[in-house]
C-alpha cells in the first residue's frame, strides 16, 4: 500500500468512526426567542429530581429541523444533547450522572433550541432542581393491560431507576395455555428491602409466594375461618408477620361512564399471617364493616387501614352482599382507621378513626405511613376503594402530628392519581397516574419535602421517551426498594409450577375490636 493510499484509507476509517460514534451538538448562537410554548414529552419542566435518577430523555413536541437541549449548572458546567427532526433528546448517562451528583441541592437551567430553516430559535428556560436526597434505586411493578376480566401475558418487573435496566422478577406463560395460565399480583416488600418479599399467584398453580433470605415457598393462606383468600398485604417492618386484607371482589362494567369499570368489594376483613409458623388469624372479621388495605406503621406498633360501614346486618350470603354492593356502589365510602398492636402479646387494640372521609363525601384507599412516621399518605376519591378506575382520585396526606389533611396539589392531576409508595428516606413518592391518556397507568415520581409538601410529579424516565406512548400495558403497584430482587425468574417458576402450597393453620389472636 502506498503512503498516499494509506492516508486515504485511514482518513476514511476515521470519518467512518466519527460518524458511527454519533454527532456532537453545540449550543447554537445567534438565536431568536420563539413565541411558541415549549411542549416536551414527558413533561420534565420545573421539577425536583433525585440526584441518582437516570437521564430524563424527552421528546420535543414541535416542528423543527434540528433540536438542541442544554442543561447548565450554577457553576457553568453543562451538558448538551441534540436531535434531528424527530425531536428525541437523549443525554449521555455518564455526563448526566456527573452533572447531577456534583449539583445536589442546586438548580439546573435547561434550555431548548429549535432550528427552522437557517434560523435557530430558543424557548424560555426551565429549571431542574436536584434534591439532596436520592431515591431508592429500584422500582418494582406489574405490567398488565388495562383490561377487564381476561388476561394473557403479564409479569412483575424491577427497574433500576439510576439507569434503564429492567429485571424480570417473574412472568407468567407467554403462549396460550389453558392448563397453566395464571395471574400474578400484589407484590410487596418488607421495609423497602427485597430480603423479604411476596406476591400472589391466581388461577392455575395458585398460592402466595413468599421469598425470604434465599428461600422461596408457596403457601395457601385460605382457611374456612377466613372470609376468603389473602389479598392486599403489608409486611411488619421487622418481624416475619404480614397483615393481609381478605376480600371478596368483583367487577362491573359501565355502559355509559368514562370510568368504564367499577371494582367492588362485597366483603372484606383483615387477617394476620405469621410466616414463621404458617398460621393465619382473623384480626377483624365483621359482616357489616368492610375492612381493607392494611398498612403497618414504621414503628410496628400500629396498623392503618380503610373501612366502609354498610347497613347489612348479621352474616349474609353473597346473594345479598353482591346486589347490595352494586346498588350502593356510589355510597360506599371508606374511612381511615388505625389499631394499635402489641408485638409481645400479639394483640390488636380497638379500631380508632383517623379520618372520617365519608363525612366529607369522600372515600380513602391505600394508606401508607411515611418512614419517619409523620405523615399518612392515601388516595381519596368520591366513592369506593379501587381508585385506579376513578378519575376523581387524588393523593392526600394527613400530618399525624397536627391532624391536618390536605391534597398533594402539585403532584395531583385532573385524572387518576392513585397507588403510591414511599421511598425509604421518605422524600420521594412513586405513584400510579393516568394523566397521560386516562387509561394507561404510568408511574410518576414526586418529591415530598421536609415541610410536607409535594412537588410537581414527573414520569419515570425511559431510554426512548416514546416508550410510554407505544406500550400497550399499564404499570401497576409501583413499589420502591433499596435493593434488587435477588432471585431469578426461573427460581420462582420452579416453586410456582412444581410445589404444592403449604396449607396454613388457623390460630386465634387476641384483639379488642367490637364485632363478630
- What does the binding site for another protein look like in residue numbers (CB under 8 A)? 144-153, 174-176, 178, 181-183, 185, 202-204, 206, 231, 249-258, 260, 262-263, 326, 386, 436-440, 464, 466-467, 469-472
Q: Which is nearer to another protein, 278 or 466 (CB)?
A: 466
Select 216 or 469, whichever has its Cβ closest to another protein.
Answer: 469
247's grid cell? 376480600
Q: How many CA atoms lie within 13 A of 22 on its CB side?
A: 9
Q: Is 46 exposed, middle or buried (0-12, 13-18, 19+ CB in 10 A)?
A: middle
Nearest distance from C-beta of residue 483 to another protein, angstroms:
26
Strands 458-459 and 474-481: unpaired
Beta carbons of 396 and 380 less than 8 angstroms apart: yes
Contact call for residues 182 and 151 (beta carbons, < 8 A):
no
CB of 175 to another protein, least distance (A): 6
Query: Nearest approach, Cβ of 443 to another protein (angstroms)?
Result: 16
* Residue 496 Cβ vs another protein, minimum distance, rounded to whole Å: 13
Cβ closer to another protein: 81 or 462? 462
Q: DSSP per residue over 270-336, as a string?
A: EEEEETTTTEEEEEE--SSEEEEEEEE-TTSSEEEEEEEE----SS--HHHHHHHHHHTTTT--EEE
Least distance (Å) from another protein to the CB of residue 203? 3
Between 289 and 436, CB nearer to another protein: 436
Read off the DSSP letter of residue 451: T
Find all residues with CB under 8 Å of 418, minimum gap 6, and list them.
365, 366, 379, 381, 387, 388, 390, 393, 395, 431, 432, 433
Peptide bond into 42 cis (omega under 30): yes
User: Smallest distance, Å, CB 345 to another protein?
Assistant: 34
Taking the least distance from each CB to another protein, the nearer of 109 and 439 is 439
Residue 374 or 466: the one with the smaller Cβ distance to another protein is: 466
Write out the three cell numbers for 7: 492516508
The CA distance from 446 to 49, in Å, is: 8
Closer to another protein at the Cβ: 257 or 277?
257
CB 450, min distance to another protein, A: 35
Q: How far apart are CA 484 and CA 473, in angstroms?
A: 23
Are 248 and 264 in contact by the 8 Å Cβ rule? The answer is: no
Q: Closer to another protein at the Cβ: 52 or 474?
A: 474
By C-alpha distance, which of 57, 62, 145 is closest to 93? 57
Write down the least CB distance from residue 392 to another protein, Å.
15
C-alpha span between 367 and 304 (Å, rounded): 7
Tell me how far, at minimum, the Cβ of 177 lies from another protein, in Å: 8
CB nearer another protein, residue 127 or residue 440? 440
Amino acid at each position: 500500500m502506498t503512503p498516499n493510499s494509506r492516508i486515504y484509507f485511514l482518513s476514511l476509517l476515521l470519518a467512518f468512526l466519527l460518524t458511527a460514534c454519533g454527532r456532537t451538538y453545540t449550543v447554537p448562537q445567534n438565536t431568536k426567542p420563539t413565541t411558541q410554548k415549549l411542549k416536551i414529552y414527558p413533561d420534565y419542566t420545573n421539577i425536583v429530581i433525585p440526584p441518582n435518577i437516570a437521564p430524563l430523555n424527552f421528546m420535543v413536541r414541535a416542528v423543527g429541523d434540528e433540536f438542541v437541549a442544554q442543561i447548565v449548572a450554577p457553576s457553568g458546567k453543562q451538558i448538551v444533547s441534540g436531535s434531528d427532526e424527530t425531536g428525541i433528546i437523549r443525554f449521555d448517562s455518564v455526563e448526566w450522572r456527573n452533572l447531577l451528583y456534583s449539583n445536589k441541592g442546586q438548580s439546573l437551567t435547561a434550555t431548548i433550541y429549535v432550528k427552522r430553516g437557517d434560523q435557530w430559535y430558543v424557548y424560555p428556560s426551565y429549571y431542574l432542581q436536584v434534591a439532596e436526597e436520592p431515591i431508592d434505586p429500584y422500582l418494582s411493578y406489574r405490567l398488565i393491560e388495562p383490561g377487564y376480566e381476561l388476561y394473557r401475558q403479564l409479569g412483575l418487573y424491577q427497574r433500576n431507576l439510576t439507569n434503564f435496566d429492567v429485571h424480570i422478577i417473574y412472568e407468567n406463560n407467554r403462549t396460550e395455555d389453558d392448563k397453566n395460565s395464571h395471574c400474578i399480583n400484589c407484590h410487596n416488600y418488607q421495609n423497602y428491602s427485597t430480603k423479604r418479599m411476596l406476591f400472589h399467584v391466581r388461577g392455575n398453580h395458585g398460592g402466595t409466594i413468599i421469598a425470604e433470605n434465599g428461600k422461596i415457598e408457596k403457601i395457601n393462606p385460605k382457611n374456612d375461618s377466613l372470609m376468603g383468600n389473602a389479598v392486599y398485604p403489608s409486611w411488619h417492618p421487622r418481624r416475619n408477620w404480614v397483615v393481609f386484607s381478605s376480600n371478596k371482589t368483583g367487577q362491573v362494567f359501565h355502559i355509559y361512564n368514562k370510568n368504564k369499570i367499577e371494582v367492588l368489594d362485597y366483603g372484606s376483613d383483615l387477617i394476620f399471617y405469621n410466616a414463621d409458623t404458617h398460621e393465619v388469624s382473623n384480626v377483624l372479621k365483621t359482616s357489616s364493616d368492610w375492612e381493607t388495605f392494611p398498612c403497618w406503621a414504621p414503628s410496628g406498633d400500629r396498623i392503618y387501614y380503610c373501612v366502609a360501614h354498610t347497613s347489612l346486618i348479621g352474616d349474609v350470603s353473597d346473594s345479598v352482599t353482591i346486589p347490595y354492593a352494586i346498588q350502593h356502589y356510589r355510597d360506599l365510602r371508606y374511612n381511615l382507621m388505625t389499631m394499635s398492636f402489641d408485638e409481645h402479646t400479639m394483640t390488636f387494640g380497638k379500631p380508632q378513626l383517623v379520618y372520617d372521609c365519608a363525612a366529607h363525601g369522600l372515600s380513602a384507599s391505600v394508606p401508607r405511613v411515611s418512614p419517619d412516621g409523620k405523615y399518612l399518605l392515601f388516595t381519596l376519591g368520591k366513592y369506593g376503594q379501587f381508585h385506579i378506575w376513578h378519575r376523581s382520585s387524588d393523593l392526600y396526606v394527613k400530618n399525624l402530628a397536627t391532624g391536618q389533611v390536605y391534597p398533594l396539589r402539585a403532584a395531583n392531576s385532573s385524572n387518576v392519581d392513585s397507588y403510591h409508595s414511599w421511598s425509604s428516606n421518605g422524600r420521594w413518592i412513586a405513584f400510579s397516574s393516568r394523566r397521560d391518556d386516562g387509561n394507561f397507568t404510568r408511574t410518576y415520581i414526586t418529591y415530598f419535602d421536609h415541610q410536607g409538601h409535594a412537588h410537581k410529579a414527573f414520569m419515570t424516565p425511559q431510554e426512548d421517551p416514546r416508550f410510554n406512548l407505544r406500550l400497550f400495558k399499564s404499570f401497576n403497584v409501583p413499589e420502591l426498594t433499596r435493593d434488587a430482587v435477588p432471585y431469578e425468574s426461573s427460581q420462582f417458576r420452579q416453586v410456582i409450577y412444581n410445589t404444592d402450597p403449604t396449607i396454613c393453620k388457623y390460630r386465634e389472636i387476641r384483639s379488642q375490636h367490637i364485632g363478630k
